[in-house]
Structure 1
Amino acid sequence: MASGLRRFASLFAGLIAAAAVSGAARGGDVAPDAAPKPAPTPAPAKPRPVNFAREVRPILSDSCFACHGPDDKQRKAKLRLDVHEGVLAKLESGDAAVVPGKVDDSSLAFRIETDDAEMLMPPKSSGKTLTPQQIDVLKRWIAEGAHWGEHWAFEPPVQAAPPAPDAANKGWARTPIDRFLLARIEAEGLKPSREAEPTTLLRRAYLDLTGLPPTPADSDAFLADAAKGLDAAYEKVVDRLLDSPRYGEHMARFWLDAARYGDTHGLHLDNFREMWPYRDWVVNAFNANKPFDQFIVEQLAGDLLPNPTHDQVIATGFNRCHVSTSEGGSIEEEVYVRNVVDQVDTNSTVFLGLTVGCARCHDHKYDPVRQKDYYQLFAFFNNIDGPALDGNISKWAPIVKVPSAEQTAALKAADAKLADLRGKLAAEAAKAVAAYDPKVDEGQSEVVQRGDFVWLDDAPPAGSTPQGDGEFVSKPDHPVLTGKAALRIEAAGLKQKIFEIAGPKLKVGEGDSFFTYVFIDPLKPPKEIMLQWRVAGAWSHRAFWGENVIPWGKDGTTERTRIGDLPASGSWVRIEVAAKTLGLAPGTVIDGWAFTQHDGAAYWDKAGLSTWTPQEGQTYGSLTAWVRARSADGGMGLADPIKAIVKKPRAGRTDDERKQLLAAFVVENGWTTGRSIFEPLLQQIAKTDAERKAVDDAISTTLVFRERVGEPKPAFLLNRGEYDQRRDKVGRATPAFLPPLPPGSSVDRLGLARWLVAPNHPLTARVAVNRFWLHVFGTGIVKTAEDFGSQGEPPSHPELLDWLAVQFRDEGWDVKRFVKRMVMSAAYRQTSQTSAESLAKDPDNRLLSRGPRFRLDAETLRDQAFFVSGMLVERVGGPSVKPPQPAGLWEAVAYTGSNTARFTADTGAEKVHRRSMYTFWKRTSPPPQMTTLDAPSRESCQVRRERTNTPLQALLLLNEPQYVEASRVLAERTLREAKPAPEERLRYMFRLATARQPDARDLAELSAALQDLSAHYAKQPEAAKALIEGGEFKPDAKFDPSELAAWTMIGNILLNLDEVVTKG
């Protein structure tokens, strides 16, 4: 593949350049027949009055506020220029900075143009210099009376009537949007552009509303409808696209940048974080057209809504998307403060369009955000119920489970089955309770006592596997201690009887001892007897009596402990060994016991554990005995309510509690009816419970916000933002320069969220509509979408911004209606072709005298390539996927202990060919296919992506393996679906990629390239094979590799055409 690309590099460069020029005539920047004409010299116009908000305040903010603004700690000469009274106040010299109407008496006018370097303002050391035009604006403002106004963004929007267009362009405007834009276009001496070609408009709408291009079938249907009426056909398409699930996926992508969504914690180990259910909530919210005010409220405070739904709680993941850490040495409170700071900064940028971070350490230098305002906002988020450190785990509390439909159904079925089984168990227990004779409890005490748990008596223990020598013998021919039989071992040398326990095991408790009874044959006494115990499959605990002749274990250790001499012969002797002596700690489980002897004969009977601890399979003759035993082990394994009753003194139990105890006793102990009745039910319950647990454990979780119970955590103003330098205590409140919380509001996150969407709020609706405008037109009405403050760029069309904000708010915050209004406008429907005059006057298209044209975002480029080729897997939602990427990127930034230290690509088209928004996002190493094309890392909030133009981007689109795979699959699709003539195939492939029919020049250039490529790969079969192999879809064996390689390169060329990688 690489050699083929190098061989034809110059050919492709020339072809792409030629195609771009061809595209420019249809939708590029300059029309070939649009030479500029000399404009007549206009008559001198009377200067219009200076607009303070748009012209004066930006100058003061940029050049003066650093020293004479809101920050009183940095203020010089006691002069304040950010408030009107400060501008008019007398200085220490007796002068005033501004005397309205008197330029010569205003020290500001003198200081901004003096030749005295020591008097000049701003001083040279500031790096700021006023232009002659700025000086003229300030002097004219003073002369006109120095009228004041607050910063435009902090005043409530007022909806002005759309201006009437000039007669010449009266028919152009389709919507109020167009009338506002047209007034500015006409004022600049320009004209709007003609409407784009129908196929261009169709592709533009598809990309803007779904992030995917139209198919040829979509284009054919639209053109057929357009023949009957273009406007109706276009509106029909727009409505259909807004109803498509692709719409929500596309819109969510922008929001996830703002929410700083990622699949990892983002710092230090950067471990996996399960957060995708929040991402899916955003997709579903846009598809459902959730009103934007509700969209905001649920993300800020869904958990505080009355009776919140599961989805409303998931929505609060917005405030948990910040980066986190659990690095060794981290200080909990320091990290806690950093987390809350991120939440304050993100909410301020996303909803207020303000950069408030400066106020963490001091009063803002340019905007009226005091440090106190910052920490009053901080107080709203300062009460999360969970640790600050993420613990390097995915389930960083607080979390909620998010079961799939299948998991929900499985849990429901398991619960129904368990209810049925427990009902049957309760019925059997009731029978046993009715048969219980309370007389057996008479005279018994519940005081816990040590007792002998007999494990071996008369026969091998239940579930054990006997091995070795020895047999059970009975009376009267042999001595038996109790019962019917005893174990006899006779040895000449070393013999032993081993019991490996598969059934109930022995559990060691505090202070326990092992015991057994032994009868030494007086005629054949052994030299040594030994007891051995196995733990976790290892025989490493031994005790012996008599001579030291059995060669196992190390003397003086728990592997071989001498207890004493051989017991007396001719009678039964109890021998006992403390578990502690054998090195067996409480809680140890014994899974084997061996009786060993050297020479002679001995009988063994009644072996077990002298213990306080109830053992597996142990039965009790009365309720009292059972309670006594279960008190000893703290009620281990019992349900919490029964455990609590067990711990109560007998006299303190109610009749109902005694009945509950009795029911638990008969089930566990098998009283009267025997365990054979209960055991099958208990086994089924245990099995079903385990199955339910397996389903429950597999359920995904997502991080959410939840308030601590009790009094809110106090918040303090932090000196210079340091977590451990608390100053004044602060309460929750909104910034003083904005409206207060409405009367009766709750003073919490829910109150804050509702304040944001209150009708009198000056920022939220403006910020929202500006961001939607940015996504459709390429640049916001306020270019600095992240900063509506005094350092941000003022709106290009302030009246339009306010009209849109009010309309959006008054129409119920209806996002789809707002998006439709934009794409139905004449401004949106213009061709992007323009004249040299228009390009000179409006190079960045801020006036929108032509249609929007810019390079597609990273995700759209990749999704488009997959979609056009036919390999895109369209499934909405679910866990993130890992398509292939260059090796070693994760490793380069990873700590060895991280669970994202190594990248392993997923396999299967259903994962690696998903839409790009589902790609796994490791924040310390985001997907390079995205970041190369300007996607942010999402380590912090970003509401506006920059668009760069680098050689690396072109190289990625040409060479990245998945793009090459898409080119090859596109080639296979063309060879499979198009008519066999080369020109027909070129037409088909061209239309798939561009959504339009190729013209003669396009076909001629592509035909020439196909001939050269076919000849090249016919001579280079290995290069052809190298090009077409690789990727998830293997090449179709029915196609000749050389032919497929040539068509793959044609697909690669088309997917890299300027008109394909841009929205034209």
Structure 2
Amino acid sequence: MNFKTRITCIVLLVWCALVFKSCNNSSSTQVTDEKIPDQVSYNFDIRPILSDKCLACHGPDANKREAGLRLDDPEAAFKALQENPKAHAIVAGKPELSEAYLRITTTDTALKMPPPNSNLKLTQREVTLIEKWIKQGAKYEKHWAFVAPKKPAVPEVDDKEWPRNEIDHFILEKQEQKGLKPNEEADKERLLKRLSLDLTGLPPTLKMMDEFLADKSENAYEKMVDQLLKNPAYGEKMAIHWLDLARYADSHGYQDDGYRTQWPWRDWVIHAFNKNMHYNDFVTWQMAGDLLPNSSKEQLLATGFNRNHKITEEGGVIPEEYRIMYVTDRNDLFGKGLLGVTLECAHCHDHKYDPLSQKEYYQMFAFFNNVSEVGIESVIGGPETYAKKPLMEISDEDVKSILTFVNKPDTNRLIVSVMGDLDSTRKTHILKRGVYDALGDEVEPGTPSSILPFDKKYPKNRLGLSQWLFDKRNPLTSRVYVNILWQEFFGKGIVKTSGDFGMQGELPSHPALLDWLAVDFMEHNWDIKRLVKQMVTSATYRQSAVVSKEKLAVDPDNILLARGSRYRIHAEFIKDLVLASSGLLNKTIGGPSVKPYQPAGLWEGATSGRGLLSVYNQDHGASLYRRGMYTLIKRTVPPPTMAIFDASNRDLCEVKRLKTNTPLQALVMMNDPAVLEASRVLSAKLLQEKTEAKDKIIKAFRLIVCRTPSEKELSVLTAYYDKELKSISPAAADKMVAIGEYPLTRNVDKKALASLMRVISTIYNLEETITKS
């Protein structure tokens, strides 16, 4: 090693050492600066530590419990230790006598807890919290989410002028505690775009923009909210989160992945949101519409909710194994989507972290185990396999009289899978290790006692389960749905883990606000539109999304909501924005799903070769321009553009979509035929107007970005148009304007069309275009 190389190595080693020291100091400072509360809370300070570091071995799961010690239950934690009757894990007020504390502070690796080989370690702050909690009496609390919410008082705040409704008081209280102030209200153009996208999934029209900007009245914003809530597109927008939750798709899944006709149920969901069906009825009809007294055909159709799961059509399967899978799917959806708990974790054994036993899992399972269905039915291919028994047929007469919201485009038979129970009661057993044929003890329908014991006055069927779900004493139902809607409008839930309110889930950022909203929602008869209006009319929602360095330093993730939320809109709404702004959007509501542009060969390369969905036959005409929510979802090969923008493939219940940012998303916006075609069609429309190029670009920008461009933005785009007009070749122009099936405007200057098309495509590719800010 020569002298120069040696010096270089020494410099690198010194630099690495300094970086390492800096990182350690930074970490140490962070721990030191985080204040230990005066009164330590079990729920908010201690339980999260136990859940992360202790309960896998010392929690609810009896099968995995070590040394007979359970730390999540006070009776077990305070009693004498199984291995040492003279010692106790926790002695209230005396950490020096508490074996749990002594084990986490010892330096003896043979005694240290958590064991070094577990790769788990408590921080000094966590140790200090546990010590102080024991000193203060080691008071246990029932998990916050399993205690029925009580309506807290609306807090007083210093700034009396800013709040517009009760939501703002809870939000501002936390901001003031951290020395923050909320942002000013967003400008009217950005605010209207945000509101329109949130309530309809569509950008505002030019007419809406002009009217809103011209309206100087104090209630201009509230009038716009009411107008958008009455728009039929509201039901379509609101349906998206429910379709994810209900795992709606247009194919059965598994290898053959045949076509199914569940879309009339989707039509019903849109209809229910538009007529503001209250949440308790909305869910009850879907859970047990067939069991309601004198149930109607509409109530029966609603139960398609619980038949959206995957269904096999493959030969050689064991029917009972798959039937059990269908029941399991319904049970798990009920847990995650409606209760916000990871019920599925108790499928094979007692839950490791939450007070849910395997027996209780199968007691819940029993409610869904009586459906008159089989594991495999018929063979893929014919119309009779589009739906599976139990089923209902929708006739043309039904559409004229009872089911007027169903968009039935032809006179073919229309069959939908729905719920329907056996005349007798099918026995339910605990399944050992979750195996379909390993029958354990027989169980009766019931619910987890830690949440709310099943009341004897309720029937032991799905209708009774729904009544239990909407019992005012149920601690989860209202909280969970309020949180899902909050997530829809603010980007993240008050509880970030919206499908897990259990002990491994995130703690609520604003627990008092969550409880206030949950109780208020119940007090107003589960009125969804009222709740939506509360959220979007709050000063919290109306803030500008501009972020200062100070706020970024104090609250980088915007947990305290001292600025407006800023994030990319859902995949379906990106397509809707492109179609609506270009004038291509087909506004037909409901009906069968459609097959828009898609790269060739995807289905053919991943199929059994049987059935209607073995080959992708693209639709044409008006079907190409339907909203994104109507794109046909084949589970084994979901729509590629939607998947790239994180849409659900609808395999399982999903209450929260991922938000990623990849180069593929930019490539889609630059190359998708739908985006390029929209650019061409809008370009052609603008060229027909007798205006200057600058005015055409301003109009395009307003239609797409929903605001007037700045002088600098306009200058750049106009210069780009002039450059393209001078440089583009006739051959390149011909190739550009040939994209898409929409007819090309006659007698149009192709060079001007292609040049303006490139400018508009650039506007579509702005980050702001597909971002809600």
Q: Which category of TM-score, normalised to the shorter sequence, fits these structures?
A: over 0.9
Alignment CA distance shift 1:739-1:44 (3 Å) = closer
Deviation at 1:906, TM superposition (A): 0.6
* Paired residues of 2:298 and 2:402 also in contact (CA < 8 A): no
Residue aligning to 1:624: none
* 1:675-694 mapped onto 2 (5 Å cutoff): none
How many angstroms apart in 1 are the aligned matches of 2:578 and 2:612?
A: 32
Tell me which of 148, 164, 189 is aligned to 1:156.
Answer: 148
Alignment CA distance shift 1:191-1:992 (3 Å) = same
The answer to whether 1:868 aligns with 2:577 is no
Residue aligning to 2:332: 345
How many angstroms apart in 1 are the aligned matches of 2:154 and 2:586?
A: 45
Alignment CA distance shift 1:160-1:917 (3 Å) = same
The unaligned stretches of length 5 or more in structure 1 are 1-41, 412-694
User: Looking at both structures, which has the greater relative contact order when contacts are Cα pairs under 8 Å and sequence separation is at least 6?
Assistant: 1
How many angstroms apart in 2 are the aligned matches of 1:245 and 1:154?
A: 37
Residue aligning to 2:105: 113
How many angstroms apart in 1 are the aligned matches of 2:36 and 2:511?
A: 23
Residue aligning to 1:58: 48
Deviation at 1:301, TM superposition (A): 0.3
Tell me which of 738, 741, 744 is aligned to 1:1029.
Answer: 738
Tell me which of 698, 710, 713 is aligned to 2:412.
Answer: 698
Deviation at 1:970, TM superposition (A): 1.6
* Paired residues of 2:323 and 2:373 also in contact (CA < 8 A): no
Alignment CA distance shift 1:47-1:333 (3 Å) = closer
SS in 2 for 1:739: coil
Residue aligning to 2:24: none
Residue aligning to 1:660: none
The code of the aligned residue for 1:969 comes to V
Deviation at 1:841, TM superposition (A): 1.5
Tell me which of 338, 351, 362 is aligned to 1:364.
Answer: 351
How many angstroms apart in 2 are the aligned matches of 1:103 and 1:931?
A: 53
How many angstroms apart in 1 are the aligned matches of 2:456 and 2:651?
A: 37
* Paired residues of 1:964 and 1:1052 also in contact (CA < 8 A): yes
Tell me which of 664, 668, 674 is aligned to 1:956.
Answer: 668
Structure 1, 942-951 or 1001-1010: larger mean CA deviation: 1001-1010
Deviation at 1:311, TM superposition (A): 1.0
Deviation at 1:44, TM superposition (A): 12
The code of the aligned residue for 1:900 comes to L
* Paired residues of 2:262 and 2:387 also in contact (CA < 8 A): no
The answer to whether 1:385 aligns with 2:98 is no
Residue aligning to 1:396: 388
Residue aligning to 1:7: none
Alignment CA distance shift 1:44-1:938 (3 Å) = closer
SS in 2 for 1:401: strand
The answer to whether 1:811 aligns with 2:520 is no
* Paired residues of 1:293 and 1:757 also in contact (CA < 8 A): yes
The code of the aligned residue for 1:1023 comes to A
* Per-residue CA distance 1:307-344 (angstroms, 9 max, x = gap): 11111101111110111102121111111111101110
Tell me which of 172, 178, 181 is aligned to 2:168.
Answer: 178
Tell me which of 756, 765, 770 is aligned to 1:1056.
Answer: 765
How many angstroms apart in 1 are the aligned matches of 2:186 and 2:609?
A: 55
How many angstroms apart in 1 are the aligned matches of 2:318 and 2:266?
A: 30
* Paired residues of 2:162 and 2:539 also in contact (CA < 8 A): yes
Higher fraction of strand: 1
* Per-residue CA distance 1:79-107 (angstroms, 9 max, x = gap): 00111111111113121111111111111
How many angstroms apart in 1 are the aligned matches of 2:722 and 2:185?
A: 37
Tell me which of 223, 231, 254 is aligned to 1:267.
Answer: 254
How many angstroms apart in 1 are the aligned matches of 2:395 and 2:508?
A: 45
Q: TM-score scaled to structure 1, two decimals? A: 0.67
* 1:495-534 mapped onto 2 (5 Å cutoff): none
How many angstroms apart in 2 are the aligned matches of 1:818 and 1:309?
A: 28
* 1:658-677 mapped onto 2 (5 Å cutoff): none
Tell me which of 162, 165, 185 is aligned to 2:157.
Answer: 165
The code of the aligned residue for 1:937 comes to N
Tell me which of 908, 914, 930 is aligned to 2:642.
Answer: 930
* Per-residue CA distance 1:999-1041 (angstroms, 9 max, x = gap): 2111111111112221221xx1111111111312122122111
* Per-residue CA distance 1:223-258 (angstroms, 9 max, x = gap): 122x233xx110001011111110000000110001
* 1:73-472 mapped onto 2 (5 Å cutoff): 73-91=63-81, 92-93=83-84, 94-166=86-158, 169-225=159-215, 227-229=216-218, 232-391=219-378, 392=380, 393-404=385-396
The answer to whether 1:1004 aligns with 2:715 is yes
* Paired residues of 1:324 and 1:390 also in contact (CA < 8 A): no
Tell me which of 460, 468, 471 is aligned to 1:758.
Answer: 471
Residue aligning to 1:1046: 755
Residue aligning to 1:423: none
Deviation at 1:387, TM superposition (A): 2.0
Deviation at 1:409, TM superposition (A): 8.4
Alignment CA distance shift 1:410-1:235 (3 Å) = closer
* Paired residues of 2:245 and 2:654 also in contact (CA < 8 A): yes
How many angstroms apart in 1 are the aligned matches of 2:36 and 2:302?
A: 55
Question: What's the Cα RMSD here?
Answer: 1.8
SS in 2 for 1:297: helix
How many angstroms apart in 2 are the aligned matches of 1:60 and 1:382?
A: 35
Residue aligning to 1:892: 605
Alignment CA distance shift 1:994-1:375 (3 Å) = same
* Per-residue CA distance 1:46-96 (angstroms, 9 max, x = gap): 942111111111111111111001111110011001111111111131211
Residue aligning to 1:823: 536
The code of the aligned residue for 1:327 comes to E
Q: TM-score scaled to structure 2, two decimals? A: 0.92
Residue aligning to 1:576: none
Tell me which of 571, 577, 586 is aligned to 1:858.
Answer: 571
* Per-residue CA distance 1:739-786 (angstroms, 9 max, x = gap): 223342111000001110111100000000000000000000000001
The code of the aligned residue for 2:146 comes to F
Tell me which of 983, 997, 1000 is aligned to 2:694.
Answer: 983
* 1:1008-1023 mapped onto 2 (5 Å cutoff): 1008-1017=719-728, 1020-1023=729-732
SS in 2 for 1:881: coil
Alignment CA distance shift 1:173-1:410 (3 Å) = closer
Alignment CA distance shift 1:410-1:766 (3 Å) = closer
The unaligned stretches of length 5 or more in structure 2 are 1-31, 404-408
Identity of aligned residues (%): 45
How many angstroms apart in 2 are the aligned matches of 1:1047 and 1:192?
A: 41
The code of the aligned residue for 1:999 comes to S
* Per-residue CA distance 1:854-889 (angstroms, 9 max, x = gap): 011111111000000000000111111111101111
* Paired residues of 1:404 and 1:699 also in contact (CA < 8 A): no
Deviation at 1:43, TM superposition (A): 13
Residue aligning to 2:549: 836
SS in 2 for 1:729: strand
How many angstroms apart in 1 are the aligned matches of 2:456 and 2:421?
A: 23
How many angstroms apart in 2 are the aligned matches of 1:311 and 1:732?
A: 27
* Paired residues of 2:300 and 2:418 also in contact (CA < 8 A): yes
The code of the aligned residue for 1:196 comes to A
Deviation at 1:273, TM superposition (A): 0.7
How many angstroms apart in 1 are the aligned matches of 2:355 and 2:51?
A: 11
Higher fraction of helix: 2
Which structure: larger Rg? 1
Alignment CA distance shift 1:1015-1:292 (3 Å) = same
Residue aligning to 1:783: 496
* Per-residue CA distance 1:592-640 (angstroms, 9 max, x = gap): xxxxxxxxxxxxxxxxxxxxxxxxxxxxxxxxxxxxxxxxxxxxxxxxx
Alignment CA distance shift 1:324-1:103 (3 Å) = same
Tell me which of 638, 648, 658 is aligned to 1:946.
Answer: 658
How many angstroms apart in 2 are the aligned matches of 1:883 and 1:1056?
A: 21
